[in-house]
Amino acid sequence: MNNRVTSLVAAAVAVTLAGAGTGHAQAVTPAGTFGSLPAGSFGGSGIPTNAVMTGGANGAVIGLSATPRYTSPAVTNDGAGTFYAAPGMSTGGVNNTGFASWNFDYFIGNANSTDIFTLYVDNDPTTGNSLGDAFALPFTGGSGYADSSNLGYWTFLGPFDPNATGEYSFAIYQRSATGEDLAHVAMNVDVGTITTTPEPSSVALLGSGFIGLAGFIKRRAKLV
């Protein structure tokens, strides 16, 4: 293959790669059972309970979910523990300036008096999905815990940009008093979904590039 043909192939491949979106960091693997959690109050009213990652041991019930904040765009999901939200600030309500347009929701019910429940949050989409790097809040068993919270409220998590896109991860671990892992539930919130496959226009452009390459090779063959 001469240099001219090599250059055409390289150019066609470069077009494909340029059209592909940039992928984000590897997500924490969702864990639990995806479905309804009628008992999940999530610390408020009007919060859907039909799209929740659930789990738990020793009779306890753990739930994690994500919802829009006030009148912000709807939060969708893939039915398997990954939620999709829009970047930006929430609208409506009181004292919500600068908060993300989505909330994460957690529920811990029927906890016994000895188990410990720990909520982990990875609130930085640019540094991978290491849950232990960001935040851990333990709840001692004996009562229920629930909230629909916004990362903008949780100032002790550090600076938070509601316009930042990428993968945010959340998990609740249930452990015994001696530290034994009993159960855990985990989910991801993908803000501003990033595609890792070529757009249709890029695929079409690649196809036309190969058609042009085939024509060039055919013409070269006739000249030899």
Q: Where are the domains of the chain?
A: 3-18+199-223, 23-191
Q: Which residue did the predictor score with more confidence, 203 or 155? A: 155
Q: What is the pLDDT of residue 194?
A: 52
Look at residue 35 and tell me whether its pLDDT is greater than 80. Answer: yes
Q: Which residue did the predictor score with more confidence, 215 or 135? A: 135
What is the mean predicted confidence (pLDDT) over 101-105? Answer: 93
User: DSSP characters for 6-74?
Assistant: HHHHHHHHHHHHHHBPPP-PPPPPPBSEEE--TT--TTSSS---SSEEEE-STT-EEEEEEEE-BTSPP
Q: What is the pLDDT of residues 119-142, one digit of tens each?
A: 888 877 876 555 655 566 788 877
End-to-end CA distance of the chain: give it in Å, rounded.
14
| pLDDT band, very low/low/confident/very high, at 222 (cuts 50, 70, 90) | very low
Q: Of 29, 68, 7, which Cα lies nearest the Cα of 187?
A: 29
Beta strand 82-85 with 181-191: parallel, antiparallel or unpaired? parallel
What is the biggest distance separating any 2 CA atoms in the chain, rounded to whole angstroms? Answer: 86
Look at residue 40 and tell me whether its pLDDT is greater than 90. Answer: no
Q: Which residue did the predictor score with more confidence, 196 or 181? A: 181
Least confident of 79-83, 92-96, 108-112, 205-209: 205-209
Q: Which single residue is written with the structure tokens 């590897």?
A: 26
